[in-house]
Amino acid sequence: MIAQTSHISHTVRPARPAPERDPAWIGRLFWLTAAMVIMWPLLVATEFKPWILFDAQSRKSTLRFLGDFFPPVVNLEFMTMVAKETWRTVAVATAGMALALVLAIPLTLLSTRALSVSALTGRMATMPFVFRQAIRFLLIMLRSVPELVWALIFVRVVGLGPTAGVLAIALTYGGMLGKVYGEILESGDAHASTTLMRSGASRMQAFFYGLLPQNAAEITSYTVYRWECAIRSSVVLGFVGAGGLGQQLDNSMKMFNGGEVATILIVFILLVALADRVSYVLRREIG
């Protein structure tokens, strides 16, 4: 392939007009074939059979389900229920975020290198280093378990309902916030806080007067962004029985009630758009 390409480029004279055909077509053909060869096992592993979307049985049930979408159910009783569940979704996300903060803030303070006294003079001492790494590992563990899995576990322990959702969001988001807060604190200019600590301020004083004012905007803006994400996951958590819009959506879907599914989906899209907007405006204000 390479030999052929160089051969072509060798024979092209500068005065000739631009070639009609793509000069690199052999290379493109090769990569296309290679991609197909790599794709093949993927298609097998994922049982990728697009034609089953169009066989008679599946087409009939899909069309019936989609046909049911119109008109969406908008009677008063259903809409009241949807409004209540929407609030629940927001409340689960907000309560979960509040608990996540309760978890994340102390863990951040314990794990951030920016508040190490021994690191002021050269390397951090061994024990504090091990302790910080241990807290960091805990944060990674909390974050690595997806919130849906936490919810599945808590639904077993505390039963169906919003408690499982709140706890799931609190643990996963606590881990995420803790890790990112730590990174934000360490990435900023450490001059103010280290000077404070060098001249005898306590770690908390160095945090409140040095680190926090410097990084407050970034931390707040990240928290608001995560709250927006929490609303989205709170809907998903409903699918495993944690209440809110997700659970209603799951119920309506299991009963093949297209009209109700359509209404809930529209409300959900509006909710996400609203959260997106609020979060955008707040983050712009915070700057």
Partner 1 sequence: MNTPPSIPSSQPFFSARCRACWFVAGLVALIALSFWSLDLAWSSFFSMDAVASMGRFVGEFFPPDLSSAFLLKVWKGTVETLAMSLLGTIIAAFIGILLALPASSIRQAGQASSFVYVMRLPTRAFLNVLRAIPELVWAALLLISAGLGPFAGTLALALHTSGVLGRLFAEAIENAPPGPAAALQAQGVSNTRIFFYATLPQVLPQLMSYTLYRWENNIRAAAVLGVVGAGGLGQLLSFHMGLFQMSKTATVLTAMILLVALVDLTSYATRRILSR
Amino acid occupying residue 245: L
Secondary structure letter of residue 16 according to DSSP: S
Residues 252, 243 contacting (CB under 8 angstroms): no
102/200 Cα distance (integer angstroms): 28
Q: Which stretch binds partner 1 (CB under 8 A): 112-120, 140-148, 191-199, 203-211?
A: 140-148
End-to-end CA distance of the chain: 53
**Is residue 127 close enough to count as binding partner 1 by CB under 8 A?**
no
Q: Which is nearer to partner 1, 206 or 264 (CB)?
A: 264
**Is residue 80 close enough to count as binding partner 1 by CB under 8 A?**
no
Q: Quote the least distance from Cβ 152 to partner 1, whole Å.
A: 6
Among 26, 153, 192, 201, binds partner 1 (CB under 8 A): 153
Cis peptide bond upstream of 162, omega within 30: no
Question: Which residue from 53, 127, 136, 89 is spatially nearest to 233, judged by alpha carbons?
Answer: 89
Q: Which is nearer to partner 1, 89 or 194 (CB)?
A: 89
Angle among Cα 15, 20, 25 to the nearest 5 degrees reads 110
Q: Quote the least distance from Cβ 145 to partner 1, whole Å.
A: 6
Restricted to residues 247-276, the positions that interact with partner 1 (CB under 8 A) are: 249-250, 253, 256, 261, 265, 268-269, 272-273
280/283 Cα distance (integer angstroms): 5
Question: Which residue from 127, 227, 226, 219 is spatially nearest to 182, judged by alpha carbons?
Answer: 219
Restricted to residues 158-197, the positions that interact with partner 1 (CB under 8 A) are: 158-159, 161-163, 166-167
User: Given the rule CB under 8 A, which residues bind partner 1?
Assistant: 39, 41-43, 45-49, 52-53, 58-59, 61-62, 65, 87-88, 90-92, 94-95, 98, 140-141, 144-146, 148-149, 152-153, 156-159, 161-163, 166-167, 232-233, 235-236, 239-240, 246, 249-250, 253, 256, 261, 265, 268-269, 272-273, 282, 285
